[in-house]
Amino acid sequence: MAELAAVVPADPDTDLDETGRSWLIRRRLSDEQVAELVELYRWGLGTPALSKRFGISKPSLLELLHDRDVQMRRQPLTKTQRARAVQLYEEGFAIKPIAVELGSSFGAVHRVLKAEGVRLRPRPGR
């Protein structure tokens, strides 16, 4: 137990390095590995493959990329987000507020609604 206490910080939420990486990610990936991860992402390798290759979760991977100001590629909506978009639209919400709620774009939500077979309402003033 003493070994574990020596490794784990007293308050892991506040133990961030200069790049903002949490201690858990810092323990698992060296700076060289993070640089390789960033380079592979920029070359087009997807987040699921990178997560598996480096043994970290997708949220941790996205955090690392965000911390290094890497331009993110479009992330598809999850099944849960897709269902929520349909639900909100059918409740009368417009696409733009749904996109904001889901942290997505108007176009992505519009594509999801069409793909899910939702009958789209005419836009106001059209």
CATH number of 113's domain: 1.10.10.60
Q: Are 95 and 38 within one domain?
A: no
Q: Are 8 and 55 within one domain?
A: yes
As for how many domains the chain has, the answer is: 2
Q: For the residues 29-39, what does the mean pLDDT come to? A: 93
Q: Are 78 and 47 within one domain?
A: no
Q: Are 62 and 86 within one domain?
A: no
Q: Which residues of 85-124 are buried (b: 16+ CB within 10 A; e: fewer)?
A: bbebbeeeeebeebbeebebeeebbbebbeeeeeeeeeee
* pLDDT reading at 26 higher than 60: no
**Comparing 7-11, 39-43, 97-101, which segment has the lowest mean pLDDT?**
7-11
Percent of all residues in the chain with a pLDDT value above 90, rounded to a whole number: 43
Q: Are 10 and 52 within one domain?
A: yes
Q: Are 47 and 15 within one domain?
A: yes
pLDDT range class, residue 103, cuts 50, 70, 90: confident
Q: Are 33 and 60 within one domain?
A: yes
pTM for this predicted structure: 0.47
The neighbouring-strand residues paired with 22 are 16
* pLDDT for the residue numbered 20: 53
The range of the structural domain enclosing residue 33 comes to 2-67
* pLDDT for the residue numbered 48: 78
* pLDDT for the residue numbered 3: 54
Q: Are 80 and 27 within one domain?
A: no
Pick the last residue of a domain from 67, 90, 107.
67
Q: Which helix (H) or strand (E) holds 124?
A: none
Euclidean distance between CA atoms 124 and 126, whole angstroms: 6
Pick the last residue of a domain from 37, 67, 97.
67
Q: For the residues 58-74, what does the mean pLDDT come to? A: 88
* pLDDT for the residue numbered 92: 97
Q: Are 52 and 100 within one domain?
A: no
pLDDT range class, residue 8, cuts 50, 70, 90: very low
Q: Are 52 and 87 within one domain?
A: no
Q: Are 62 and 81 within one domain?
A: no
